[in-house]
Amino acid sequence: MIFEPTLLPGAYVVRPERRRDERGSFARLWCREEFAAHGIEIDVPQASLSTTQRAGTVRGLHFAWPPAHEGKLVRCERGRVFDVAVDLRPRSAAFLRHIAVQLDAEEANAVYLPPGVAHGFQTLVDNSAVLYMMSESYRPELGDGVRHDDPAFAVRWPVPVTVIAERDRSYPDFDRERHAARFGAHAVH
């Protein structure tokens, strides 16, 4: 696997190294030892699959408050998505910055997002499916989100939004001080 660092500390784009022959191809998509060699110690107690019918749909931006320590390996299993991560770690050098990566089922590329980073995506084609491998089981009492169009993050979504859940649309404007206070004693870098 090829690990490409991003501008968010601890976040990587992960590309498979395909072996091709007359039968097709083979690629390793997960290897605990290769992730550990890049400083990512991740156990995978939970995996989730999100399916989305319409192109242009936005899901997110979601994150988990400390003390959750939820990292994610995200891969598009069917279709193509515009994947976005926003650094919400107040002590991070990239606080409030974001990255965007096109994840494509044909490429089998993925993105690893460390704890404290909000995640969302927009489908670029109909009938897309996204797989999450998570370092912790989901804890709904710590789950939260920020708005996909919040000016604090300046995310430029590639196509007009066709569908978005009411919950995702109705998050309040991001409040930097309130957010940092809630992270408080939980030093997530």
Name the domain count of the chain: 1
Distance set, CA 173 to CA 85, 120, 121, 147, 148 (Å): 17, 17, 19, 7, 10
Annotated active-site residue in 12, 62, 98, 112 = 62
Q: Which pLDDT tens digit goes with each residue over 25-34?
A: 888 888 889 9
Q: Which pLDDT tens digit goes with each residue over 160-176?
A: 999 999 999 999 999 99
At residue 27, the pLDDT reads: 85
CATH of residue 86's domain is 2.60.120.10
Asked if residue 189 belongs to a domain, the reply is: no
Q: Which domain holds residue 86?
A: 2-17+29-181
Question: Mean pLDDT throughout 85-91?
Answer: 96
Which class for 38: exposed (0-12), middle (13-18), buried (19 or more C-beta within 10 A)? middle
SS3 content of the chain, % helix, strand, coil (to 5): 10, 40, 50
132 as an active site residue: the answer is yes
The answer, yes or no, to whether residue 151 has pLDDT greater than 70, is: yes
Question: Measured over all CA atoms, what is the biggest interatomic distance in the chain, rounded to whole angstroms?
Answer: 58
Which two structure tokens, joined as six digits, stand for 45? Answer: 């107690």
Annotated active-site residue in 12, 112, 132, 148 = 132
Q: Please list, residue by residue across 8-17, b when 16 or more beta carbons sit within 10 angstroms of its beta carbon and e when fewer do.
A: bebbbbbebe
CB 144 within 8 A of CB 70: no
Q: Tell me the pLDDT band of 184, cut-offs 50, 70 and 90.
A: confident
Cβ atoms within 10 Å, residue 139: 12
Q: Which pLDDT tens digit goes with each residue over 45-59?
A: 999 999 999 999 999
Asked if residue 51 belongs to a domain, the reply is: yes
At residue 55, the pLDDT reads: 98
Q: Tell me the pLDDT band of 186, cut-offs 50, 70 and 90.
A: low
Q: Tell me the pLDDT band of 185, cut-offs 50, 70 and 90.
A: low
Asked if residue 188 belongs to a domain, the reply is: no
Asked if residue 186 belongs to a domain, the reply is: no
Asked if residue 35 belongs to a domain, the reply is: yes
Q: Which pLDDT tens digit goes with each residue over 113-142?
A: 999 999 999 999 999 999 999 999 999 999
CA 50/CA 30 separation, integer angstroms = 19
Half-sphere exposure of 91 (CA within 13 A, CB side): 10
